[in-house]
C-alpha cells in the first residue's frame, strides 16, 4: 500500500482494444503475466496483463501525480466501447466466477489467525503447486512437509454448484443434512455461468474423497421472515467459467 504509486485495473473483452486506441503502441505483445513500461504524460506507466477476474484484462501502475491524466486518457479512449467504473461488489463477483480466492475471506492466513487451528496451509486452499520443497529453507517448509508425509492436511477448498438460485453465502455445509462439515465463504448466482456457485472450506475427507450427499443450509428472507432451506450441493471444478480470450495471443479485437 503506497501513496506514491496509483494502481488501476482495466478488465473485460474490450480492454486490449481500448489500450490500443488510447495510444499504448505494442500492448498487443503482452502475453498473460507479462508487463512492460509505456510512455504517458511525460513519464511512464507500467502495464501488466493480469487482473482479479477471469476475463481479458490489464493492471496499470503509474506515479500518483499522473493518475488523473491516465484516468482521463482511458475514459476518452473507451467512451465508444462502454467503459465504466465498477466497485468491489462487481469485482468480487467476477473473481468468484473465475474461481479466485481472497486472503482472510476464503481462508485465514497465519498472520491473522487468532486460533491456531483456523489457519490454512497451501495444500488446503489449492495452492500446493506453488510450493517447491527442493528449495533451501523457507518459512513453513517443515510444517508443509510433515503435513504431506503424515497426511495431516485437515481441510480442502472446493467449488460448489448449489441447486436453486438463492446465494448460499456464509452457509453451513452438511453431509447427509446432519453432520456439519464446512462453511461457504463466497457465493452468488452467476450471470455468466448461469449457475448458483460457491467456494467452501470443508473438513477432509469431505470435499476430497467424500463428495456425495452434501447440503447447504440457506436462510432466505421472504416477506420479512427468514425461511431455512436445505439445498443439495455438488463439488465442481474451478474456475466456474473459463474464457479463452483471457489468454489468447495476440488479444482479440472486441
Same domain, 159 and 80: no
Name the residue range of residue 80's domain. 2-96
State the CATH number of the domain containing residue 207: 2.40.30.110
Is 52 in a helix, a strand, or coil?
Answer: coil
Task: Give, in order, the Cα–Cα distances in Å from 6 to each of 16, 96, 110, 151, 225.
Answer: 20, 25, 28, 44, 45
Same domain, 72 and 136: no
Domain-located, residue 52: yes
Same domain, 31 and 86: yes
Domain-located, residue 73: yes
Domain-located, residue 161: yes
Question: Residue 77: its pLDDT value, please?
Answer: 96
Domain-located, residue 194: yes
Same domain, 153 and 192: yes
Same domain, 142 and 183: yes
Question: Residue 118: its pLDDT value, please?
Answer: 87
The grid coordinates listed for 32 are 498473460
Domain-located, residue 248: no
Question: Residue 151: its pLDDT value, please?
Answer: 87
Same domain, 129 and 25: no
Question: Residue 109: its pLDDT value, please?
Answer: 87
CB 238 within 8 A of CB 127: no
Domain-located, residue 253: no
Same domain, 31 and 76: yes
What confidence tens digit (pLDDT) does each residue in 60-80 have?
999 999 999 999 999 999 999
59 has binding-site annotation: yes
Same domain, 149 and 229: yes
Question: Residue 253: its pLDDT value, please?
Answer: 87
Angle of CA points 120, 126, 132, to nearest 5°: 90
CB 58 within 8 A of CB 35: no
Whether the ω angle into residue 239 lies within 30 degrees of 0, i.e. cis, is yes
Same domain, 11 and 48: yes
String of DSSP letters for 67-101: HHHHHHHHHHHHGGGT-----HHHHHHHHHHTT--
Question: Residue 136: its pLDDT value, please?
Answer: 87
Same domain, 12 and 84: yes
Question: Residue 209: its pLDDT value, please?
Answer: 93
Same domain, 158 and 213: yes
CB 53 within 8 A of CB 95: yes
Same domain, 77 and 188: no
Question: Residue 31: its pLDDT value, please?
Answer: 97
Where a domain ends, among 96, 129, 150? 96
Looking at the structure of the chain, the number of domains it has is 2
Domain-located, residue 244: no
Residue ranges of the chain with pLDDT lower than 70?
none
State the CATH number of the domain containing residue 40: 3.30.1360.120
pTM above 0.75, yes or no: yes
End-to-end alpha carbon distance in the chain: 33
| List of residues 6+ apart from 96 with CB closer than 8 A | 186, 187, 188, 190, 197, 199, 240
Domain-located, residue 230: yes
Amino acid at each position: 500500500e503506497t501513496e506514491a504509486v496509483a494502481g488501476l485495473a482495466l478488465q473485460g473483452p474490450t480492454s486490449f482494444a481500448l489500450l490500443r486506441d488510447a495510444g499504448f503502441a505494442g500492448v498487443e505483445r503482452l502475453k498473460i503475466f507479462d508487463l512492460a513500461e509505456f510512455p504517458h504524460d511525460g513519464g511512464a506507466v507500467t502495464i501488466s496483463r493480469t487482473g482479479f477476474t477471469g476475463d481479458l484484462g490489464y493492471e496499470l501502475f503509474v506515479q500518483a501525480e499522473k493518475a488523473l491524466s491516465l484516468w482521463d486518457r482511458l475514459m476518452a479512449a473507451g467512451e465508444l466501447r462502454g467503459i465504466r467504473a465498477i466497485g468491489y461488489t462487481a469485482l468480487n463477483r467476477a473473481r468468484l466466477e473465475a474461481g479466485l480466492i481472497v486472503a482472510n475471506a476464503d481462508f485465514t492466513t497465519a498472520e491473522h489467525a487468532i486460533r491456531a487451528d483456523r489457519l490454512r496451509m497451501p495444500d488446503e486452499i489449492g495452492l500446493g503447486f506453488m510450493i517447491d520443497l527442493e528449495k533451501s529453507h523457507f518459512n513453513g517448509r517443515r510444517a508443509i512437509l510433515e503435513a504431506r508425509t503424515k497426511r495431516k492436511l485437515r481441510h480442502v477448498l472446493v467449488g460448489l454448484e448449489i441447486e436453486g438460485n438463492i446465494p448460499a453465502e456464509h452457509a453451513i455445509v452438511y453431509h447427509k443434512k446432519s453432520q456439519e462439515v464446512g462453511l461457504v465463504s463466497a457465493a452468488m448466482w452467476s450471470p455468466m455461468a448461469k449457475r448458483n456457485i460457491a467456494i467452501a472450506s470443508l473438513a477432509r475427507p469431505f470435499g476430497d474423497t467424500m463428495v456425495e450427499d452434501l447440503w447447504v443450509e440457506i436462510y432466505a428472507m421472504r416477506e420479512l421472515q427468514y425461511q431455512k432451506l436445505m439445498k443439495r450441493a455438488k463439488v465442481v471444478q474451478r474456475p466456474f467459467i473459463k474464457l479463452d480470450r483471457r489468454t489468447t495471443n495476440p488479444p482479440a479485437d472486441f
